[in-house]
Structure 1
Amino acid sequence: MGRAVPAVTRALDILELFLDRPTLSAPEITERLGLPRTTVHELVTTLTERAYLIPTPGQPTRYRLGMRLFQLGSVFADQLDLAHEAREAAQLVAAECDETVHVAVLDGTDVVYIAKADSTHPVRMVSAVGRRLPAHCTGVGKMLLSGLTSEALDAAYPLDGELTAMTDHSVTSPVRLRAHLDDIRRQGLSYDECESNEAVFCVAAPVYDHTPAMVAGMSISVPSIRWDDRRREEWSALVRKGAAILSQRLGHRPSPTR
């Protein structure tokens, strides 16, 4: 590999400052990066000339991100392939836990599996890409349902209706489903405790894109013979990390912690 070019690195450092602040002045950039004022002035001038930065209207001494970055970001978004990125992220997680990892999307009241990485254990979950399951019976499905608006949820699951059961543990009450979804929103994780398969537990986390909408869910599925409190804690942390990696690949940027 070649040597990193210091001037390019500094220019990128300047642009990345705007991830946390909508506008910055040259003195603020100088202070935050610890660079000489003349260096910052030259870099900001160059970035402005190339439309990577533009002066803020009414505040010409302050700068914001320019149209050129939007154009590049749009090209990046157009080239994203959710299924491809999901496969790679699922494989990374499966390599760490050696359990079956799925990524699924919501289609009406069903989930559709778009990516899968298998466990190497002789006893493992049997599933396939393209399979559809009732969303309310799966961990990944309930995670995706938690991202719906109240209006969309009411339309899909009227309170006076009854939900199909896949096992004796499935949620069949719309009221109980809403209570589950409230818990999922608070925790940021969803569990399937033998609700879609009598012998399988799952834990799922949300996947976001650059918009930032919840576009998918990632789950780790574990046969009940290998599921216990320790594994629940470990795989919960791992699927959260894996979903965050996939979200980052899709252009998601988490909100700054306040």
Structure 2
Amino acid sequence: MGRLVPAVTRALDVLELFLEPGGDGTLSAPDIVRRLQLPRTTVHELVATLTARSYLVAVEGRPGRYRLGVRPYQLGSRYAEQLDLAAEGQRVAGDVASTCDETVHVAILDGTDVIYIAKVDSTHAVRMVSAAGRRLPAHCTSVGKMLLAALPRPEIESRFPDGAQLTAMTPASITDPRRLREKLDEIRARGVAVEERESNPDVSCVAAPVRDRTARVVAALSISVPMIRWSDERRVELETLVAKGAADLSARLGGS
């Protein structure tokens, strides 16, 4: 773990005071000074910053007192959405895996990486080995490319600027940002992503987008298949199945 930043730690200490039971959910700067044993000037600067960023809000009609603002609620809601996504993703992944008997993942995008939040294994002796929580370069995976394809073009360009050398996981990995953008255009048009040996030389995958109630792409669902069971016919079959699975998961999240 890297060095903790004192100012950030103090700001979080202030916010966490509002989690303590009792009271009316409001605090004043003197309350914070007394409880955290911090200098008054420091507390006033922290409170001013947190208020400016909507983490705290002044209580109307009660000068000098503050309550939690909208931003902690938004962060908590996003966290709850991810918990729902992981739980529902695990259920749908199980349904899809029971149909095709291949490894099924649900992943989210984090910068230029994907993080797998749900996984169900194939029962075959030869299968993809992975784990929920694993992080991989998005451009090397079908789920990653599906998620990247949902981003606005300027955002893709900022994450993968021209001239950048992208990480190669196998000889088949895309390493040129321009080639990646071309591939993302194809995926966007088709609505499904296919990856052949780009993250693992022995595995190919198909993926489809998962949308929430606002139609925003929040995750992708994929099916991973060892090359010994991969063929054009199997790919077409799995593209249909992965699209259905992603649609089922979207429906569980309130999407259409």
Scaled to the shorter chain, the TM-score interval is 0.5 to 0.7
**How far did 1:160 drift?**
1.7
The 5-angstrom pairing of residues 152-231 of structure 1 reads: 152-231=155-234
Distance between the aligned counterparts of 2:162 and 2:229, measured in 1? Answer: 36
Tell me the distance in 2 between the aligned counterparts of 1:81 and 1:140.
19
Is 1:104 the equivalent of 2:107?
Answer: yes
Q: Which amino acid aligns with 1:194?
A: R
Which whole-Å deviations, capped at 9, do the CAs of 1:5-50 have from their partners, x for residues lacking one? xxxxxxxxxxxxxxxxxxxxxxxxxxxxxxxxxxxxxxxxxxxxxx
Residue in 2 aligned with 1:50? none
Q: Which residue of 1 aligns with 2:238?
A: 235
Distance 1:129 1:155 in 2: 28
Q: Which residue of 121, 139, 160 maps to 1:136?
A: 139
Deviations 1:64-112 (A, max 9, x none): xxxxxxxxxxx9xx67711000000000000000000000000000000
Equivalence for 1:33: none
Alignment root-mean-square deviation, CA: 1.5
Name stretches of at least 5 consecutive residues in structure 1 with no aligned partner: 1-74, 254-258
Q: Which residue of 1 aligns with 2:127?
A: 124
- Among all aligned residue pairs of Structure 1 and Structure 2, give the percentage whose two residues are the same amino acid: 60
| Residues 149-181 of structure 1 deviation map (CA, whole Å, 9 limit, x = unaligned) | 112111100012111100000000000000000
- Per the alignment, in what secondary structure is the counterpart of residue 114 of structure 1? strand
2:172 is aligned with what amino acid? H
Secondary structure at the residue paired with 1:81? helix
Q: Which runs of 4+ in 1 moved over 4 A?
A: none
Match of 1:58 in 2: none
Match of 1:250 in 2: 253
> Take 1:169 and 1:161, find their aligned partners in 2: how far apart are those partners?
17
Name the aligned partner's letter for residue 133 of structure 2: G
Give the deviation of 1:230 after TM superposition: 1.3
In the alignment, the residues of structure 2 paired with residue 204 and residue 229 of structure 1 have an alpha-carbon distance, to the nearest angstrom, of 15
Q: Deviations over 1:112-171 (max 9, x none)?
A: 000001100000000000000000000010000001111211110001211110000000
**SS of residue in 2 equivalent to 1:170:** coil
In 2: Cα distance, 1:230 partner to 1:149 partner: 32
2:86 pairs with 1:83: yes
Alignment correspondent of 2:64: none
Secondary structure at the aligned position of 1:203 is classed as strand
Q: In structure 2, give the amino acid aligned to 1:167.
A: T
Count how many residue pairs are aligned between Structure 1 and Structure 2: 178
What is the TM-score with the length of structure 2 in the denominator?
A: 0.68
